[in-house]
Amino acid sequence: MELYTTKSDVLVNPRSEYRVTRRYHGKVKAVVFDWAGTVIDCGVFSPAGAFMELFKEEGVEVTSEEARGPMGMHKRAHICKMLEMERVRGAWLEKKGAPPTDGDINRMYAKFVPKNIAALQNHSKLIDGTVECVAELRRMGIKVGSCTGYPSAIVEKLKPLAAAQGYVPDVYVAADEVPQARPMPYMVWLNAIRLDVNPIEAVVKVDDTVDGIKEGITAGSWTIGVARTGNYVAATEEQLATMPRQDLEWRLNRAYDLLHDAGSHYVVDSVKDVPAVVRDINRRLTLGERP
């Protein structure tokens, strides 16, 4: 008996005119949080300052916006992206007389890591609402993962600083633990593996950067962009409280637009808003919706 035939160069089972599609109707099982700008270091000053200092030592001064542009990526890739910026590359050529080499990038990355570690001492305060958010998620039966553009050496320094303030995720994944970091999906997938969570539709990725959102989308998870406390508003909680309204609104609207345009399913002000969004995702999952 012939079980399969070819039709228009497609293999067809003639006994199955209808296809069964499996849909997940359960609840969110895990939320994977980014670090800087999402749960710690409001405004993302630790890496931004380290990049600015790093390039200044090379004789190439960069702006805060240039230092923040590729934020979310593996930090070596971040250096590469900055060196590809037209103005930065021009300044480098003027100073050095030759394009940057892999040796230059490796040397700069080696210098960057201790600079960022040193910066953590002044920029490791948990963002307001983080501990309460995680506690609420755990009351909902949700596991808590984490990932970052930081390498393991920086994550190991972050762990005790965050734990002392009450934030201890169930899983830590660093950018150098996967074949490719953001915007590729591997850190989200590694979180799901270590948390023993499936399907991927039951995972939510929370991040304040475009590449972090793209990471979650590529992984197949739900995504929540964090605008107010993140990289694109670039302000401490104290600065947010005193910033002129017009300036804050401009920065916040820009951050919302960038994260929406990246494809984020939701964009919120801060981590405080995450539990409410997760409840809405649960509602949508019950209806059979997918990310």
Name the domain boundary from 77, 104, 121.
Answer: 121
Q: How far, in whole angstroms, is CA 135 from its chain's centroid?
A: 21
Q: With contact defined as beta carbons under 8 Å apart, do 43 and 37 qualify?
A: yes
In the prediction, which pLDDT does 9 show?
Answer: 57
Is the pLDDT confidence value at 6 over 60? no
Is the pLDDT confidence value at 14 over 90? no
Rounded CA gap, 216 and 220, in Å?
A: 6
Q: Of residues 198 and 17, which shows the higher confidence score?
A: 198
Distance of CA 249 to CAs 4, 69, 148, 235, 263, Å? 60, 20, 27, 13, 21
Q: Is residue 270 part of a domain?
A: yes
Q: Is residue 69 part of a domain?
A: yes
Active site residues: 34, 75
In the prediction, which pLDDT does 22 show?
Answer: 82
Phi, psi (rounded to 5 degrees) for 64: -60, -40
Instruction: Place 4 in a pLDDT band, splitting at 50, 70 and 90.
Output: very low
Q: Domain of residue 115: give its range.
A: 47-121
Q: With contact defined as beta carbons under 8 Å apart, do 192 and 203 qualify?
A: yes
Of all residues in the chain, the percent with pLDDT exceeding 70 is: 93
- b/e code 133-171 from CB counts within 10 Å (16+ = b): bbebbeeeebbbbbbbbbbeebbebbeebbeeeebebeb
Same domain, 80 and 182: no
Same domain, 55 and 150: no
Is the pLDDT confidence value at 30 over 50? yes
Q: Is residue 18 part of a domain?
A: no
Is the pLDDT confidence value at 121 over 70? yes
Phi, psi (rounded to 5 degrees) for 205: -105, 130
Amino acid type, 262: A
Question: Per the structure, how many domains does the chain have?
Answer: 2
Name the domain boundary from 62, 90, 121.
Answer: 121
In the prediction, which pLDDT does 16 show?
Answer: 64
Same domain, 147 and 280: yes
Name the domain boundary from 89, 121, 153.
Answer: 121
Instruction: Place 21 in a pLDDT band, splitting at 50, 70 and 90.
Output: confident
Q: Which has the closest alpha carbon to 226: 203, 187, 188, 259? A: 259
pLDDT digits (tens, 9 = 90+) for 224-254: 999 999 999 999 999 999 999 999 999 999 9
Q: Of residues 2 and 65, which shows the higher confidence score?
A: 65
